A = this chain, B = another copy of it.
Amino acid sequence: MNSLSSELIIFNSKTKQKEKFVPIKEGFVGMYVCGPTVYSKVHLGNLRTFLSFDLINRYLKHLGYKVRYVRNITDAGHITDDSGNEHDRIGNQSKLEKIEPMEVVQKYTVYFHSILDTFNAIPPDVEPTATGHIVEQIEATQKLIENGYAYESNGSVYFDVLKYNQEHNYGELSNRNIEELIANTRELDGQSEKKNPQDFALWKKAAPEHIMKWNSPWGKGFPGWHLECTVMSCKYLGETFDIHGGGMDLKFPHHECELAQGKASTGKNPVNYWMHANMLTLNGQKMSKSTGNSILPDELLSGNNSLFNKAYDPMVVKFFLYQAHYRSVLDLSQDALDASEKGFNRLMNALETLNQIEAKESSTIDINNWKEECYKAMNDDFNSPILIAKLFDATKFINSIKDGKDSLNQEDLDELKTTMNVFVFDILGLQATSNSDSKHLNLVMQILIDMRNHARNQKNWELSDDIRNRLTEAGIVLKDGKNETSFGFD
């Protein structure tokens, strides 16, 4: 364990304050993040959430924790929105695209994985699916009925929110008051089978035309969305686990319902730290497909859109996202992306410059203090914009050293290099953009060409031939010119 891990502070959405992070089991972290419902291409706002938790996962692992990071795939289509309406999103998309629901699931799961891979996100340690836990969801529903917190009605099973609220506090996570919720609810058709409009489905009776359905003690149906996450987090992380994350929009009702289900089922508080990532807006407005103020990740990367005048590298977009704290609203715009592109290039150039710097006798910069500030930023609720500001401080003093205005001794220079690499590549998960491979190839080829020339000057034909032959095998041809040797591809 990194000694700095003891200083980690996390903002807990439930208590609404920053708290010292103390894991249930020393050295281990269990983290559950709500994954996508795979009925459409993941949108940029969701991408931001998943990249926020990628950063958190990477930093926890860097601190030395053995993290079990669980992120689900919602592949059974039941979604309940704020007003208690029920939509079968996967089923609807299936009708629209005229393919089977599980083909919809596969298509958008493949897209989701591919996009996250493009952004160099580390896959979760377990990626459970709702359809992979039907048995467990039926059993969890039975347990909630046995415990008196759920009731069957017309082939569906509902969670009894008022009953739960008698002993617990429904609304404690999202700071809602149940009386107000009730006062604000419009009574909708077809909801009369519930005792109360706030009650939510644990198991939903399937209409005859519904494709994705399973037999249960209550007839053919499908599981409730909220229950899915309770069942899967509990199965892989235990009845109480460390961190539960997701987008801000999931706080209510989804996470509120998860919290209620957990307590009603086991009597225990299921989650120690609730974390919520904030919204991404586009040109100052909420993103919305219907108004056209919306862009998909692949449209942003390909430049194939009407909102931006160029394509952006995924690493530039990622750098842009991390320039805001995960709990702040962030606005996507041409200017902001262009500024991030400049910043990203400045950082990458500084990393190159750093490699050419030579150590001096003494240091004029306090590298240890700078390094501590980097950790302090991340330990303060994963504050990536402060971290990035510190990295920009480093670009300044790297350039100042290059210009001979400052200097570092060997120890400090090594420390600076290591720390920059750890934060830029391991923790932020940035990658040098693709054209840097060609740059490196040129540099490395020059080393080999020099070595071969040196060998030839020394009449070491064995070595010079060996270099040429190995390059030929690699599909690279050396061309000996009058004054210099160049290379090309076979």
Contacts and interface: CB of A to CB of B under 8 A. Distances in A.
Interface of A: 68, 99-100, 102-103, 105-107, 109-110, 113-114, 117, 123-129, 131-136, 139, 214-215, 236, 309-311, 345, 351-352, 354-356, 417, 421, 425, 432, 434, 436-438, 440-441, 443-445, 447-448, 450-451, 467, 470-476, 489-490
A436 B445 CA distance: 15
A476 B444 contact: yes
A125 B473 CA distance: 37
A233 to B, nearest CB: 13
A150 to B, nearest CB: 19
Nearest to A420: B490
Contacts of A132: 129, 131-132
B438 A473 contact: no
Given A102-B236, A355-B474, A425-B489, 14 more contacts: A106-B126, A107-B125, A110-B123, A114-B117, A131-B133, A132-B132, A135-B215, A310-B474, A345-B490, A355-B475, A441-B441, A447-B448, A447-B471, A451-B451
Contacts of A443: 473-476
A354 B490 contact: yes
Chain A interface mostly: helix
A111 to B, nearest CB: 10
Q: Considering residues A109, A132, A214, A467, which has the most beta carbons from chain B within 10 angstroms of its beta carbon?
A: A132
A129 B129 CA distance: 10
Contact of A471 (B110, B345, B444): B444
Contact of A437 (B215, B441, B447): B441
A401 to B, nearest CB: 15
B356 A214 contact: no
A68 B236 CA distance: 33
Contacts of A436: 489
A425 B131 CA distance: 35
